[in-house]
Amino acid sequence: MQGTVLNIQRFCTSDGPGIRTTVFLKGCPLTCLWCHNPESQRRKPELLYSPTECVSCGRCTSACPRGCHQQKNGQHTFDRSVCVACGACRFPLCKAIELSGKTMSAKEVFDEVVKDAAFYRNSGGGMTLSGGEPLLQADFAIELLGLAREAGIHKAIETCGYAPRKVVASIAELVDLFLFDYKESDPERHRRFTGVDNAQILENLTLLDDMKKSIVLRCPIIPDYNDRDDHFASIAALANRLSHVTEIQIEPYHDFGKTKYAKLERAYALSDVLPADREVARRYVSAIQARTDTPVRIP
């Protein structure tokens, strides 16, 4: 089974227990306004181009089979409309061009994951699938999770939960821990902020709880968008209603991905929003913790 992989990141400590290898899969059904990995949204590989890093060496111009790159009057131009992200223009020392996304088999990915099996055993870690949205590549994810199960490796998945019920149920059988994103409690705001409403997401969250799967709620908090007291109350109420939520993680807004939008020639929707400082983030935690016995923390 082939899948589109964004990145394989080793020695992760925030994507589940212990030391983990996180496999980021490309493609997501949501378009969150605050997404800090815009290169993960589309399923196909993409090229990120930074004009300020270009030294006009001309190598990409001669290498590109479709003429996407041109040198005119000493200036490099890139025509994204005809680019198929074949990667022919990407050279090891080039800082201006990045290729986002690579087609790999589940076996190829797992061969990378299993290299660090000793670290998983010693720390209680394992493999985490993230994205993008791994449920969008369900068959690929299932094969990869199956390989990890056969090897006795702990398996976590970070998901927005927006997928058909049968997909969630089939994957859940192979997963030890769900890192479940809970972005907004109000359905209409959820649609405005992410492109979809939250009905299917809540149904799938209840399904996982009924299946007795361990769940960590991951809640991005965005100033002027969902930093509301009623949303904090809803997060706590959700954790109180479900039986298998072990923790609530608050993820304060940051704008680390802003430069990626420019490299993809896309507008960044929250350019005027300031990141939350630690004191503000602590207030978020306190507002939720006052309403639930489920531990609340900032990863």
265: pLDDT strictly greater than 90: yes
Label residue 282 left, alpha or beta by phi (over 0 means left) and psi (-120 to 50 means alpha): alpha
Report, as an integer, the average pLDDT of 241-265.
96
**Which pLDDT belongs to residue 296?**
98
- Tens of pLDDT, residue by residue over 126-146, are 999 999 999 999 999 999 999
**Which pLDDT belongs to residue 93?**
87
Report, as an integer, the average pLDDT of 266-279.
92
**Which pLDDT belongs to residue 228?**
96
**Which pLDDT belongs to residue 235?**
98
The C-alpha torsion from 58 through 64 and 65 to 66, rounded to 10°, is: -100
**Which pLDDT belongs to residue 74?**
78
- Tens of pLDDT, residue by residue over 196-250, are 999 999 999 999 999 999 999 999 999 999 999 999 999 999 999 999 999 999 9
CA distances from 88 to 23, 39, 61 (A): 24, 19, 10
Mean pLDDT of the chain: 96
Q: pLDDT > 70: what percent of the chain?
A: 100
